[in-house]
Amino acid sequence: MTPDVVSFRQADLLSALYRRRGPVARLGPYVYLLGPEANQFVFANAHLFRVQEAFQALVPVDGPTSLIVSDGEDHRRRRRLVQPALHHRQIAGYLDVMAENADATLDTWQRGQVVDVYQEFRAAIRRSTIHSLFGARFAADAEFFGVQLQALLDLIDRNPPVITLLRRLNAPVWRRAMAARAKVDERVYAEIAKARAGATDTDDHVLATLARGDELSDLEIRDQVVTLIAAGYETTSAAMAWAVFSLLRHEQVRLKAKSEVDGVLGAQRPTVESLKQLPYLNGVVQETLRLYPPAVVSARTAAEDFEFAGRRIKKGTFLIYSPYVTHRLPDVWPDPLRFDPERWTEKPAPHEFLPFGGGPHRCIGANLATTELTVMLARLLARTELRYVPQRVRPTSVAAMRPKYGLRAEVL
């Protein structure tokens, strides 16, 4: 029998480490900064840390100039240029695209069919993300990006030392990933050239905006585009799967969320105003992100020597902090393993709830992701009912925690 809340054994070992050793613990080559006090220290003292070295494993996918691996002035400049496309007002214009892609998936389901909800919505979220940010022409290649990026995502799902070894050996898996990257780059650079020439299907999507002027090189634009696509659908689709899993395993939660959606929306698609009238569904999204944060752990390297919690940390030390550990601490979250959307009547502190990280490097797509989750869950609840199918649900991947074997459900 699958439990109502799934735990990730590898991450639970970090929770045990925190209970035994407190907020600072050295284990092997890494130093772990765990718990809310450690999170707060990391977010408030960004000058003490670097992300470039910490996230080198992501470079094969995202590129060397991606926001994820940028520090200092380069990070501030790139973030300033990308941020406007992910502002609340801009995201409001994406709601119809999100709903349309959810509906397109639901339209293919038939009563009695067993579907892999994770894979189905992964494809929908990929189409939605690309269409919202880069326009319909780019979205027509959503399946292409899914196939090619998967080879790269499979590569970086390994431990960083393994990735380094595969690269040095020029192993088949590395060669396949690099061939896939070359195909992705060819398509993205072609679109950049069109945008530079003013030949885009809309003037306000992200790529067109980034291509104006000469503040970003073609490589920088490529890296931000690929990062927004890959990180956007990989993490959001994982969270969508856990949200549906939670609804299927908590019948009263599902019924209450459906009642709210039916009462507010009826058969209508969400609007900016109607989304504000769905506090319980928003609680479902937040509670999902608490128990199943997209990144189980995140990393930094020490930019200089510093002291925290009475321990001296040397420059160059590889540091790991964990949203997962913090989100399941009973001192922070009463009855932490209980899935309770009603606990979200008050906004928690940033260092206690950090599914998208925090500080200057907080995920730039956080608002897009939570909006997309809310819209797609609303369409799912409004349009269909699912029954949980007995199965083994096992979390995998610390970079984007997802159900390893998918999530099967029967359409009623």
* Known binding-site positions for heme: 363
Q: Name the residue among 174, 135, 134, 137 with its Cα closest to residue 154.
A: 174
3-state secondary structure 297-332: CEEEEECCCEEECCEEECCCCEEEECHHHHHCCCCC
Neighbours of 288 (CB within 10 A): 26
Q: Name the residue among 217, 157, 154 with its Cα closest to residue 180.
A: 154
Binding annotation: 363
* Rounded Cα gap, residues 350 and 229, in angstroms: 25
How many CA atoms are closer than 13 Å to the CA of 205, on its beta-carbon side?
25
* Rounded Cα gap, residues 293 and 242, in angstroms: 10
Order of strands, sheet of 24-27, starting from the edge strand that comes earlier in the sequence? 24-27, 30-33, 318-321, 298-302, 49-50
- Cα angle at 124 between 112 and 251, to 5 degrees? 50
- Cα angle at 39 between 33 and 41, to 5 degrees? 90
> Strand, coil or helix: what is 410?
strand
Q: Name the residue among 21, 119, 43, 24 with its Cα closest to residue 360.
A: 43
* Rounded Cα gap, residues 34 and 16, in angstroms: 11
Tokens of 312: 């001296």
* Rounded Cα gap, residues 228 and 286, in angstroms: 21
Is residue 297 a contact partner of residue 319, using CB atoms and an 8 Å limit? no
Cβ-proximal residues to 339 (8 Å cutoff; 6+ apart), any chain: 4, 5, 246, 249, 250, 253, 287, 291
